[in-house]
């Protein structure tokens, strides 16, 4: 049923849960995993100075996130392909789907609602709405969501110092 499974990752706890599901499905269907990290350059186009530094850091983060998926897949004996690309996140995911004959996308979602969802947008939601293939979304439970939010706040505080 599924031969090529895409798991977009950003290194978050939600992505980690999605990776577990994607690996399980790949094992069940003898499918290949495609790990994709998108360096969303659209966010940084307005920066005059320092954009290169930010993008370089995000590319290193992407290498680490996709390496994690690659290692987990290889440990499970699953064929894996990993790539870091630049562009707008949901568009790059769509292009990857089209260019690699993806059968299924497995992605994490933070489950935000209301104003935070409106302000932050949702890559997952856009992929769900525009994908030509099924998209399995993996949501964190409430305790995991609270832990992830606390970790995000701590990282933001460290960055401000």
Q: Is the pLDDT of residue 150 over 90?
A: no
Q: Is the pLDDT of residue 3 over 90?
A: yes
Q: Is the pLDDT of residue 160 over 70?
A: no
Helix extents (H) in the chain: 13-29, 51-75, 89-99, 114-120, 123-130, 142-160
Range of the domain at 60: 4-159
Q: pLDDT for 70-102, tens place per residue?
A: 999 999 999 999 999 999 999 999 999 999 999
Averaged confidence pLDDT in the chain: 84
Q: Please, what is the angle between helix 123-130 and helix 89-99, to 10°?
A: 40
Q: What is the count of structural domains for the chain?
A: 1
Confidence of residue 161 (pLDDT cuts 50, 70, 90): low
CATH number at residue 66: 3.40.50.620
Instruction: Give me the pLDDT at residue 143, please.
Output: 60
Give pairs for 57-61: CB < 8 Å, separation 24+: 59/84, 59/86, 61/11, 61/37
pTM: 0.81
Instruction: Give me the pLDDT at residue 156, please.
Output: 47
């Amino acid at each position: 049923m599924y031969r090529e499974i895409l798991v977009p990752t950003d290194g978050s706890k939600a992505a980690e849960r999605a990776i577990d599901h994607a690996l399980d499905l790949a094992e069940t269907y003898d499918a290949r995993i495609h790990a994709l990290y998108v360096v969303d350059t659209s966010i940084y186009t307005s920066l005059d100075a320092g954009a290169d530094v930010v993008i370089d850091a995000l590319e290193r983060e992407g290498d680490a996130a996709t390496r994690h998926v690659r290692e987990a897949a290889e440990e499970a004996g699953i064929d894996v392909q990993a790539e870091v690309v630049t562009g707008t996140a949901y568009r790059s995911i769509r292009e990857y789907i089209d260019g690699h004959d993806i059968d299924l996308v497995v992605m994490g979602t933070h489950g935000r609602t209301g104003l935070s969802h409106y302000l932050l947008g949702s890559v997952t939601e856009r992929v769900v709405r525009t994908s030509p293939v099924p998209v399995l979304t993996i949501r964190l439970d409430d305790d995991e969501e609270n832990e992830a939010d606390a970790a995000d706040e701590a990282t933001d505080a460290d960055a401000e110092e």
